[in-house]
Structure 1
Amino acid sequence: MSANGWLQFFVYSIVLLLTVKPVGLYLARVLEGKRTWLDPVLGPVERLIYKLSGVNAEHEMHWRQYAYAVLGFSAVSMVITYAIERLQAALPVWNPQKLSAVGPDLAWNTAASFTTNTNWQSYTPETTMSYLTQMAALATHNFFSGAVGIVVAVALVRGIQRTSSKTIGNFWVDTTRALLYVLLPACVIYALLLVTQGVPQNLAKYTAAHTLEQSSQAQANQTQTIAQGPVASQEAIKMLGTNGGGFFNANSAHPYENPTPFTNFLQMLSIFIIPAGLTYALGRMTGSQGHGWAVFAAMFVLFAAGFTTLYWAESQPHPLLHGASQTTVASGETGNYEGKEVRFGISQSSLFAEITTAASCGAVNSVHDSYTPLGGMVVLTNILLGEVIFGGVGSGLYGMLIFVVLAVFIAGLMVGRTPEYLGKKIDAYDVKMSMLYVLIFPLIILTLTAVFVLSPTIGLPALTNNGPHGLSEILYAFTSATGNNGSAFAGLSANTWWYNVALGWAMLAGRFLMLIPVLALAGNMAQKKSVPPSPGTFPVNGWLFTVLLVGVVLILGALTFFPALSLGPILEHLLLHAGQTF
């Protein structure tokens, strides 16, 4: 650990904090349907979209109608993505490499992955997906899935905000505005910034470069294929939409995706900027700005604690690595450099890994599988906590609001009175929907992990590691899929029929089975009457509430997943320091 590493963390934190209010104000205005500075340009476009699609912008939906719209939109777009992948070789344009059709199980996995904002990739993108598939199927899904997350979060906030209402908004209007006023303009600016830093944006064929190495047989210059393509445009929405799918297999460690220190910082900032801004929008829309800051504080405390632990773990010398100095390097940082880009170092690799797993992004600039056991446990735990440490665009906020409801309920039990949240009494239905959300997550992860760990024919052959690290690799895969993160412990070769199918279903269940209770909670909260606060009302806008909220998140996560972590990374750490390996 170095002073420079901590300085980078503090600079990042300050810049993030400075963006919260302006981004939150803009998001609140967009999602409340108020006028913004983009209205003179985008207002006519928005109205034209409604006219052509037959959407009545004044009509609002019951929560069930909202849920049907979310599921229908996602299903149709998923089928289209699957079809593009399967027909890739026959489509006439933007396939200069003449790449063949994607296999049925991999196409299913990828379509489910991008529909759910997971962007798990069981393939090498530059040798599997054509430019057309990358743009028309995958990049568009990055926009759609990001917008769906935002509008579901806003629907829940509306449910908290409204009184005696049967509706929570219009999905088509919310999605159009999220795309048109937030994601599209931000990504245009972002992509142009990336191009100025050297990120490619073209439709050219891959370049065959002659290397300096010579073949011992032919004594001729060997060639290397240098992939390129429309990278900048996909990179922008990959980060702003907390999607994470890389244009290249090396993801954000690739110099074409992440060429400079500025792009590395910009990518880390863009992962958190919308989720953090939504906490301010929460306070703005509910009329309790202090509550928005309290939720932000809870997320930031968990984020800072995770980074501190991860940075410390990766700064320790590896006990079994001999013959290389782990105590003195040019950058002043010491520790485990395996799987990390020297240009980023341990601090930037640790910070990127913490951010991308705290959010449901999954983009990586280092190999998580090569982290120390405790470092790997931190990135795994970030997802296991429910992707609520800022989390994905929208999904992080509505996930944390589920824990808010549970925290208020627990506080009510402690003082012996009916719990209240921002003027709404929390009843049995609210708690049932919140617990349903919380229980679905571990049920999917632990069940599928157990099935594949115990299967010598479908689960274990994909492993390159035995013992506790092998368990961690399978656990991480199903955690990443269910949590819609998309990062992986790369020692698991998951591009098999069984893994592709099972992980695809885990992604869909982790997104949509958990999304329905959120909308049900929104609908129930919206129809309640508001009650004035009393002396017994637990305040949700101070440090005491932040502490309680952090405690609820950690306790629920520990009670659920500590046994699995004990058999995986914790056991691996103990064996490693005892000098044993598998």
Structure 2
Amino acid sequence: MSGWLQLALLVAVVVALTPLLGGYMARVFAGERVLLSPLLGPVERLLLRAMRVRRDEDGPVGQDWKAYGRSVLLFSFASWLVLYALLRLQSVLPGAPKDMGAMPWDVTFNTASSFVTNTNWQYYGGETTLSSVSQMTGLAVQNFVSAAVGIVVLIAVVRGIAARGGDPSSRRFGSLGNFWVDLVRAVLYVLLPISFLGALVFVSQGALQTLGGETTLNTLAGGTQTLVRGPVASQEAIKLLGTNGGGYFNVNSAMPFENPTAFSNFLSMVLVLAIPAALTATYGRMVGNRRQGWAIFGAMAVMFVALAVVLSLAEQHGSPAQHAAGLATASFDGSTGGNLVGKEQRFGISGSALFNTVTTVTSTGAVNSAMESLTGLGGLVPMTGMGSSEVIFGGVGSGLYGMLLFVVLAVFVGGLMVGRTPELHGKKIEAREIKLAMLGALYMPLTVLTMTALAVGTDHGKVSNAAGGPQGFSEALYASLSQGNNNGSAFAGYTGFVQPNGNNDGAFGITFADLLGGVAMLVVRFFPILVVLALAGSLARKRPAPTGPGTLRTDSPTFVVLLIGVIVLVGALTFFPAFLLGPVVQSLTGHLY
């Protein structure tokens, strides 16, 4: 019962926050005065002057979709270079422990690609591989700016949809805003203030926040143990708020120093969902139709609740292997029952299942339990969340601009059914827009399935799979889904290892996995960004037509059902055969290895 109450409370809190935070962000990106303007306004102007943002009589010079896209790529490439250099040079920088060297080049490539793309996939143990300087000035900074990039791309796309056309000779015709202005506002007015408050709450709950470095403790058994300490709470807040997911410690949010209490666990889930949910309200305000923002929120919420319920029930039911062994999986006095393998006992089945659902329908990837220990049916839920292109709330910005691609497809399908040219906010959806929407919707599945095929079908890829059978396939598929959706969570087991015959091919297996995943993360992050910006640029130049009696309403319950159907249809057609080979077989047979 407590699990269902927690789910209901989480939904209620997110629903309450959505219009408040969404309205605030709409004002921020419209350049209006907000509560923090007196404090942060001078800082914003100083940063924009340092960036030499050009201005005219109407304010910062706007950019069309090509210029906006070039700015995104330029900034992200510079961020990648700086992070790569920092991680490779960390052993000679201040604050590094004496025995801590530079990251290997291939792990550095994967890690830099991971954090710049808001994926935060981790092929390393944070507390043993990275210094506090690398964590703070490298990873935590990227947690802010990579999240900001996703938010501002979404804002640019919404501006394109909301634009009213105008005079083609005007300098503002087809403008999506200015990337540098949007980036500064996203960091200063949205991410920094909320992260600061979140970090204070985490500290109050017991999360670490210190620059004291390592300390040695005496154990009860008479030995000693080295305790790694660092600025954890500050990184924890932005890790969750920015849907990043990379933890200071290797075990992520299962570590008490990162996630100390049941309240911090609940707060973590609220932070993860806060901005992706609120951006639906921002969208509704910017396009002048708040009902449509709530319609998109409703579609996301319905799918999220359905997945959370399935995962909780699957883990409570237990696995076929438990039933075959005669183990009791029903809850009774003194036992929660179910599948407790790999779960943090402080959170139990309900807290773990809900947390895992939240972080895999978004692009967060943080975990508070071992994902690979889920039942077959339970493991299918996070795969389904990622297989939906993570548009069920999704990452900050990226979830909603991915959802808008499906909105365009749903409008097209609806237009075909009523025999009318499809329209979105009065703008005709024509061949160019449909082609772009299809490219954006299908590119991720193509990348993920290609990665999985290379991981399980080539000699180089097979080295990275520690398990065989459906579990091994699930591990490879999950790794591809996670990196191919910029999520970052893992089923574990997918890495290089020493062969039983003594022929150590594991080192090359790690390099192959690092390079394959790093390239995939970069491609699936920036190709869809260019696609949605091109779509926004096309719509920004169109004049809206008046709505008529035959216009398909995009703010009705009927459209919500249609939108969910399109998302499910695309996911089913692309990933259902792969799911059958992995988690579905596992669920039916209880086979692990």
Fold shared by both chains (TM-score > 0.5): yes
Shorter-chain TM-score tier: over 0.9
SS of the residue corresponding to residue 141 of structure 2 reads helix
Provide closer, same or farther for how the CA distance between residues 167 and 188 of structure 1 changes in structure 2, counting only shifts above 3 A: same
Q: Does 1:492 align with 2:494?
A: yes
Range with greater deviation from structure 2 (160-169 or 536-545): 160-169
Which residue among 25, 36, 40 is the counterpart of 1:38? 36
User: What residue is the counterpart of 1:141 in the other structure?
Assistant: 142
Provide closer, same or farther for how the CA distance between residues 186 and 337 of structure 1 changes in structure 2, counting only shifts above 3 A: same
**Distance in 2 (alpha carbons) for counterparts of 1:453 and 1:66:** 38
Tell me the CA shift for residue 572 of structure 1.
Answer: 1.7
**Distance in 2 (alpha carbons) for counterparts of 1:508 and 1:158:** 25
Which residue among 168, 173, 184 is the counterpart of 2:192? 184
Where does structure 1 lack aligned partners over 5 or more consecutive residues? 214-220
Tell me the CA shift for residue 46 of structure 1.
Answer: 0.6
Aligned positions, number: 568
User: What residue is the counterpart of 1:194 in the other structure?
Assistant: 202
Tell me the CA shift for residue 581 of structure 1.
Answer: 5.0
Residue identity in the other structure for 2:77: A
Which residue among 447, 469, 472 is the counterpart of 1:470? 472
Provide closer, same or farther for how the CA distance between residues 79 and 581 of structure 1 changes in structure 2, counting only shifts above 3 A: closer
SS of the residue corresponding to residue 362 of structure 1 reads coil
CA contact (8 A) 2:318 2:375 kept: no
**Distance in 2 (alpha carbons) for counterparts of 1:355 and 1:52:** 38
Q: How does 1:133-282 map to 2 (within 5 A)?
A: 133-164=134-165, 165-213=173-221, 221-282=222-283
Cα distance per residue 1:123-145 (max 9 Å; x no partner): 11000011111011110000010
Residue identity in the other structure for 1:88: Q
**Distance in 2 (alpha carbons) for counterparts of 1:237 and 1:107:** 21
Tell me the CA shift for residue 318 of structure 1.
Answer: 2.6
Q: How does 1:73-84 map to 2 (within 5 A)?
A: 73-84=75-86
Residue identity in the other structure for 1:480: S
Q: Does 1:409 align with 2:417?
A: no
SS of the residue corresponding to residue 353 of structure 1 reads helix
CA contact (8 A) 2:63 2:176 kept: yes
Tell me the CA shift for residue 97 of structure 1.
Answer: 5.3
Percent sequence identity over aligned pairs: 50
Tell me the CA shift for residue 262 of structure 1.
Answer: 1.0
**Distance in 2 (alpha carbons) for counterparts of 1:452 and 1:253:** 28
Which residue among 531, 540, 551 is the counterpart of 1:526? 540
Q: Does 1:373 align with 2:376?
A: yes
CA contact (8 A) 2:388 2:567 kept: yes
Q: Does 1:511 align with 2:525?
A: yes
Tell me the CA shift for residue 325 of structure 1.
Answer: 4.3
User: What residue is the counterpart of 1:218 in the other structure?
Assistant: none
CA contact (8 A) 2:320 2:588 kept: no
User: What residue is the counterpart of 2:503 in the other structure?
Assistant: none
CA contact (8 A) 2:465 2:472 kept: yes
Q: Does 1:59 align with 2:67?
A: no
Tell me the CA shift for residue 463 of structure 1.
Answer: 2.1
User: What residue is the counterpart of 2:463 in the other structure?
Assistant: 461
SS of the residue corresponding to residue 225 of structure 1 reads strand
Cα distance per residue 1:163-208 (max 9 Å; x no partner): 2231100000000000010001111111111111111111112111
Residue identity in the other structure for 1:111: A
**Distance in 2 (alpha carbons) for counterparts of 1:300 and 1:401:** 16
**Distance in 1 (alpha carbons) for counterparts of 2:469 and 2:234:** 41
Which residue among 8, 11, 15 is the counterpart of 2:9? 11
**Distance in 1 (alpha carbons) for counterparts of 2:469 and 2:433:** 42
CA contact (8 A) 2:61 2:178 kept: yes
User: What residue is the counterpart of 2:290 in the other structure?
Assistant: 289
SS of the residue corresponding to residue 320 of structure 1 reads helix
Which residue among 384, 404, 427 is the counterpart of 1:424? 427
**Distance in 2 (alpha carbons) for counterparts of 1:112 and 1:330:** 48
**Distance in 1 (alpha carbons) for counterparts of 2:86 and 2:257:** 25
**Distance in 1 (alpha carbons) for counterparts of 2:395 and 2:179:** 19
User: What residue is the counterpart of 1:536 in the other structure?
Assistant: 550
Tell me the CA shift for residue 98 of structure 1.
Answer: 4.2
SS of the residue corresponding to residue 459 of structure 1 reads helix
**Distance in 2 (alpha carbons) for counterparts of 1:517 and 1:411:** 22
Tell me the CA shift for residue 329 of structure 1.
Answer: 5.4
CA contact (8 A) 2:150 2:398 kept: yes
Tell me the CA shift for residue 497 of structure 1.
Answer: 0.3
Residue identity in the other structure for 1:81: L
Tell me the CA shift for residue 332 of structure 1.
Answer: 5.8
Range with greater deviation from structure 2 (182-191 or 73-82): 182-191
Q: How does 1:429-468 map to 2 (within 5 A)?
A: 429-456=432-459, 458-468=460-470
Which residue among 88, 94, 100 is the counterpart of 1:86? 88
CA contact (8 A) 2:320 2:587 kept: no
User: What residue is the counterpart of 2:484 in the other structure?
Assistant: 482
**Distance in 1 (alpha carbons) for counterparts of 2:189 and 2:488:** 26
Tell me the CA shift for residue 480 of structure 1.
Answer: 0.4
Range with greater deviation from structure 2 (446-455 or 458-467): 458-467
Residue identity in the other structure for 2:426: G
Tell me the CA shift for residue 513 of structure 1.
Answer: 1.1
**Distance in 2 (alpha carbons) for counterparts of 1:97 and 1:318:** 46
Tell me the CA shift for residue 462 of structure 1.
Answer: 2.3
Tell me the CA shift for residue 255 of structure 1.
Answer: 0.2
**Distance in 2 (alpha carbons) for counterparts of 1:109 and 1:254:** 24
**Distance in 2 (alpha carbons) for counterparts of 1:470 and 1:148:** 35
Residue identity in the other structure for 1:192: L
Q: CA RMSD in A?
A: 1.3
User: TM-score, normalization: structure 1?
Assistant: 0.96
SS of the residue corresponding to residue 462 of structure 1 reads coil
Tell me the CA shift for residue 331 of structure 1.
Answer: 6.6
